[in-house]
Amino acid sequence: MKWWSHEVSALLLVYALAPWTPASAILVPLTFLGAVFPDIIEILLFAKHRSLHELAIYLALPPILVAAGHPYLLAFAYASIDHVLVDAMTKHGVKVFGRRVRWVLKTNRLPDNFVPVLLHVALAYLVSGGSAFTLLAFPH
């Protein structure tokens, strides 16, 4: 998927899961960084694209961050996990506990990049019971 699809999807996920207040503004940059972190790691390690996209690695982040006393970094961890899950929806797929998981989306097709975004909109709506979008549409 394109970087913007990962960014928007992750932001919608964290928006749905976290209580948003003025103090939670720190979640936005953490989410944006986490949304591209799996690709950044591969670039820094000169690894082939998606060669390190193993879901098990990223699922270990939340408990490690909480145990280390950094629960505010959960936005980063959730965004990284979301990146791998969104990439699992592509034809190339990712590894999930050592097995390749893939779906039908093509990363270079614009409509296919909107599929995860729309799924995240639906997820945010369902998780919030519609209240998240009421707040977005009608700020107090």
d(C-alpha 23, C-alpha 86), whole Å:
28
- Amino acid 139: pLDDT: 44
Annotated domain spans of the chain: 3-19+26-134
- Amino acid 102: pLDDT: 93
pTM summary value: 0.87
Pick the residue with more confidence: 140 or 41?
Answer: 41
Token digits of residue 52: 């390190």
Reduced to 3 states (helix: H, G, I; strand: E, B; else coil), residue 104 is coil
- pLDDT tens column, 49-101: 888 889 999 999 999 998 998 887 999 999 999 999 999 999 999 999 989 99
**In sequence order, which ranges of the chain are alpha helices (DSSP H)?**
3-17, 27-44, 55-59, 61-67, 74-87, 110-128, 131-137
